[in-house]
Structure formats: C-alpha cells, structure tokens
Amino acid sequence: MRGYVLRCMVVAALLVCTLIASAGVGLTEPSPAPPPPPSNPTDQQLDQSKRDLTGKAGEVAAVSTRLTKVQAEADELGAQLESRREAANKALVDQRAAQAQAEEANQRAQATRAETDAAAAAIEQAHRRLDEFITAAYLRGADSGSLSLLTEATDLVERAELTEAIAADQRAALDSLQQARVAKVNVDSIARAAQADAQAKHHAAEVAKRVADGAVANARLQMRAGLTKLAGVEAQRVALEHQLDVLTAQDATLRASRQRYLDYQAQRAAEAVAEQRAAAARLTAGTATRRPGAGSGMAARVIDRALSALGVTYAWGGGNAEGPTLGVRDGGEADANGDFRKTGFDCSGLMIYAFGAAGIGLPHYSGYQYNAGKKVPVSEMRPGDMLFWGNPGNVHHVALYIGNGKMVEAPYSGGKVRVTPVRYGGELMPYVTRLL
C-alpha cells in the first residue's frame, strides 16, 4: 500500500509540474511578509477589565451617595453655626445695651449723690435755721423785752398772734427739715434701685454673651469636623473617579486592541480569500486551456461556485444547492462549537452547492456522494473531481479538486471554507469520483 501511495504522489508531483509548465507559471520573487498582527487581549482579560470597571463604578456611586449625605450634614452644621452666630450677635447687642444702661444708671447715681449732698446741705441748713430761730427768739425776748411784754400784755389777741407767729416759724423750719430728709431718702432709694437694676441686667447680658459665645465655639468645632469629614469623602471620591478614569482608559485600550486584531484578521482573511480565488482562477484558466471541451467548461463553473463560498463558516449539516443554511445538532463536536446556531456549509453540503451549478443533485452525505459517479484513480484526477477520505465502509470527508495539487473544502467545526493543498496519505481514498 505504501508503494502505491508513493507512486501516486510521484505521479501527482509530475502532473503538477506539467500543469505549471503548461500554464506558463514561472518563478517569481517572494512577496513581502505580512505585518505582524496587533496584540490580541484574551477574553479573560476583557472580562476582568469589565468586572474591574463595573466594580469601580459601583464604588464611585457609593462614595458619591455618601458625599451627598455628608454634604447635607455639613450644610446643617453650617446652618447651626449661623444660628449660633446670630444668637451671639444678639447677646452682644444686649450686653452693649445693658452696659450702656448700667453706665446711665451710674451717671444717674452720681447725679443723685449730688442731689443727696444737696438734700443733706438742705437738712443742715434747716437745722441751722431752727437753731437760728430759737436763738433769735431767745435774744428778742431778752433784748426787747418781748417776753415781759408777753407776760404783761393785757390784750390776749396780741399775745395769741405773737405765739402763733413764733409757732409758724418753728413749723416752717421743721417742715423744711422733714422735706429735706424725705427728699434725700427718696433720691437715694431711686438711685440705688436704678443702679441695682442696671447691674442685674448687665450681669444677665454678660452671662448670655458667655453662653452664646460658648455655643458659637462648639458649633464652630462641629463645623470644622464636618468640613474635614466632607473634604475626606470628597478626596476619596476624586481618587476613585481617577481610578475609574484609568480603568475606563485601560478597558477602552483593550477593546480597541481586540477590535484592531479582529480587523486585522478580517483583512488577512479577505486577502487570503482573494489570493485563493485568484490562484483558483489561474488554475481553472490553465486547465481549460490544457483540456478543451464541454466537460472542462462545466468543471470551471462547478469550481467557481465552490470558490465563491470561500470564507463561509463551517456548519455541520449546513448547505444546499441554493447556498449556506443553518447547521444541525450532531450531539458532539459540532454542538460544542455551536454549529446549530451558524449558517454555512459542511463538506458534503459544499459539494451539493458546487455541483448545483451544473444542475447535478447530490445527497447530503459524503459516503453516498462517493458512489454517485465514476471512480477514477487519484493519479488520474482532474479539476472538478471529488476527493474522499476514510474507507469504503466509512467515508467521512469530501473535497473538490481544482487543479495544481489544490482542493477547496469545508474542513471542520470552527473552520471556514478554504483552498488547501491535497492531503495525500493517511485516509485519502485511492479513487476520486467524477461527475463531469
């Protein structure tokens, strides 16, 4: 068997050389190497970045809520401080008013002292007048004989008038003395009462001022503590927002890197598809030139249709004569790759689609397709033939030969329709199936 396969490989190599020579394909300078792919962050890195970003955003939200609460507390403390300050201002005004009232009372007291001195002088003067009256009365009696006249007077009316005059002078002196004493007592009493009242008000105002000042000092301490707390929470919020900004930038960088990588992959895939189609077109053109006839034209149509599916996703059970279809479940690898959720081709579905261009219908199973046409040895295969892998009792893969040692196939779950060199050896069946 190994000898047979080796002979087949030699024959195929000779055929490839013949095709290259007949197509006029010459040696060309190697194309420049493609640029290296951009960095591709892993799904785990992207998920972790998203979790970090979400967690930090939650922290920022929590601290912002706390900041709002602390700000409200600071506002309340500020209002209390203003209230205490107003109370202190009132106490200061009341203290100044009481001080002014006390000073006024002191001035009145000084004035009453002057009045008291005057009243004392009046009392002293009244005493002097009484003494003078008594002395004068005595002297008048001694000098003018008034007393003797009184005793000798025969006219009772005159004596009565004289007595009344003396008594009136005495009463006037005594009344003046009594009035002076009452005035002194009244003035002293009023002055003392006014001064005591002013001093009491001044003392009460000073106590109220001290209480108000204490309340202001306490409110100021609370306000400072509140502002310190507010500043701490604000600083925490700023720090967290900075961390959030950093994480956001990092996440955006990661996702931009992933997008650049995906764009690079898409570009490389498109370039590869374009290169494969161009190569296949050259091969098809060379084959048509080398093998003129009706069959070669139909093979070109089948090959072109198969190549039109380059890059289409593999989907197990997918594909018909109209194009790619939704895959089906296989209970194994295809399910694990989610083929039942994808629209594409499997290996036999691609053959159905390709040969639909020639109006040829095929069953959706590679084993049946193997028996759908003429068997030709691999060494004699030509573009448009189907290659198979497996054994006669278990064919499990099929591809379409396009010439120059290349084939087009839908390879496996997770892959895409592609052009690739024919895989000789292994389970390659010794015969190809020819329908054209």
Out of 99-108, 409-418, 426-435, least confident range: 99-108
**Among 250, 270, 301, where does a domain finish?**
250
> 175 and 298 in one domain?
no
> 240 and 180 in one domain?
yes
> 323 and 218 in one domain?
no
Number of domains the chain contains: 2
> 203 and 102 in one domain?
yes
Structure tokens at 181: 């004493």
- Identify whether 341 is part of a domain: yes
Give the whole-number percent of the chain exceeding pLDDT 90. 48
Phi, psi of 396 (to 5 degrees): -125, 0
Mean per-residue pLDDT for 44-73? 92
pLDDT tops 90 at residue 386: yes
- Identify whether 138 is part of a domain: yes
> 146 and 60 in one domain?
yes
- Identify whether 36 is part of a domain: no
Closest of 280, 278, 276 to residue 401, by C-alpha: 280
User: What confidence category does residue 270 fall into, taking pLDDT thresholds of 50, 70 and 90?
Assistant: low
Q: What is the pLDDT of residues 311-326, one digit of tens each?
A: 999 999 999 999 999 9
Q: Considering Cα of 121, then 127, then 130, then 136, what sign does the dihedral take?
A: negative
> 329 and 390 in one domain?
yes
Q: Are 223 and 231 spatial neighbours (Cβ–Cβ below 8 Å)? A: no
10 Å CB burial of residue 46 (0-12, 13-18, 19+) is: middle
Structure tokens at 199: 């001093």
> 236 and 108 in one domain?
yes
- Conformation bin of residue 316: beta by default, left when phi > 0, alpha when psi is -120 to 50: beta
pLDDT tops 90 at residue 382: yes
- Identify whether 405 is part of a domain: yes
CB count in 10 Å sphere of residue 270 = 12
The residues assigned a catalytic role are 347, 397, 409
CATH number at residue 223: 1.10.287
CA distances in angstroms from 194 to 102, 190, 303, listed in the order given: 9, 6, 126
- Identify whether 4 is part of a domain: no
Which residue intervals of 308-399 are DSSP H helices? Answer: 333-336, 347-356, 366-370
Mean per-residue pLDDT for 40-69? 92
> 165 and 62 in one domain?
yes
DSSP string, 255-308: HHHHHHHHHHHHHHHHHHHHHHHHHHHHHHHHHHHHS-SHHHHHHHHHHHHHHT
CATH number at residue 307: 3.90.1720.10
CA distances in angstroms from 165 to 126, 135, 261, 347, 423, listed in the order given: 18, 15, 140, 162, 169
**Among 250, 274, 308, where does a domain finish?**
250
> 243 and 386 in one domain?
no
Give the distance from CA 420 to its chain's centroid: 52
**Among 197, 221, 250, where does a domain finish?**
250
Out of 43-52, 111-120, 300-309, 402-411, least confident range: 111-120
> 171 and 80 in one domain?
yes
Whole-model pTM: value is 0.41
> 195 and 101 in one domain?
yes
- In which domain, by residue range, is 406 found? 291-434
- Identify whether 355 is part of a domain: yes
- Identify whether 229 is part of a domain: yes
> 354 and 209 in one domain?
no
In angstroms, the CA 143 to CA 180 distance is 33
pLDDT the model gives residue 292: 36
- Identify whether 285 is part of a domain: no
Phi, psi of 340 (to 5 degrees): -70, -10
